Amino acid sequence: MAKFQPGQSGNPQGRPAGSLNKHTQLIRLLEPHAEAIVQKTVDLALLGDPNALRLCLERLIPKATERPTVTLPDLSTTPIEAWPTAIMQTLSDKKINPSNLTQLLALFEYAKQNQAATKMTEELQERMAELLQKYQREY
C-alpha cells in the first residue's frame, strides 16, 4: 500500500474547499428568521405549550447543580498520605454527593502528582549541586 505524498489529499474527490457543513448551512438559513422563531416560541410557551415552556426555561434558568455543603479541614500541615483519613473523618457525619467525591479524588491525584514532581525536582537540584561542587573541586 502506497503512502500519501506530502501535499496530496487522501481523498481528492472529497468535499471542496470552502464548502459549508450542514450545521452552518442550517444556521445561515434560519438566521434571517431568528427573531420571529424566538417570538413564536415565547408565544407558544405563554399559551401553555409544554415543549416551548421547557425550551424557554432551559435557556433562562441554568441547570441546577448540587453545591458542596461540607467544609474541608485545613490540610496545609497534614502529609498528603493522611489527607484521605482527615477528610473521611470530616465527612463521616455528613452527606456528600458523587460529583463532590469525584472532585476530591481528582484533588488527591493532583496532589500526589504535584508532590512527586516536587520531590523529583528537589532531588535533581541536590544532584546538580553535588555535581557542581564536584566539578568545582576538580577544576
Domain boundaries, the chain: 22-60, 80-138
| The pLDDT of residue 103 | 72
Dmax (CA) for the chain in angstroms is 90
Q: What is the tens place of the pLDDT at every residue in 44-56?
A: 999 999 999 999 8
- Alpha-carbon Rg for the chain, nearest whole angstrom, is 30
Q: Determine whether 53 is exposed, middle or buried from the number of CB atoms within 10 Å of its CB (0-12, 13-18, 19+).
A: middle
Using alpha carbons, select from 99, 82, 102 the residue that is nearest to residue 90.
82
127 close to 119: Cβ distance less than 8 angstroms? no
Question: Which grid cell sits at 133?
Answer: 561542587
pTM of the model: 0.38
The residue that leads in pLDDT, 54 or 96, is 54
Q: Is 118 helix (H, G, I), strand (E, B) or coil?
A: helix
| The pLDDT of residue 80 | 73
Distance (Å, whole) CA 31 – CA 35 = 8
- Cell 566539578 locates to 135
The stretch 86-112 carries a mean pLDDT of 70
The stretch 80-104 carries a mean pLDDT of 70
The stretch 81-106 carries a mean pLDDT of 70
Question: What's the mean per-residue pLDDT of the chain?
Answer: 79
The stretch 105-127 carries a mean pLDDT of 76
| The pLDDT of residue 47 | 95
Q: What is the tens place of the pLDDT at every residue in 6-25?
A: 777 777 788 888 888 899 99
Distances in Å between the alpha carbon of 30 and those of 19, 25, 37, 40, 107?
18, 9, 9, 14, 44
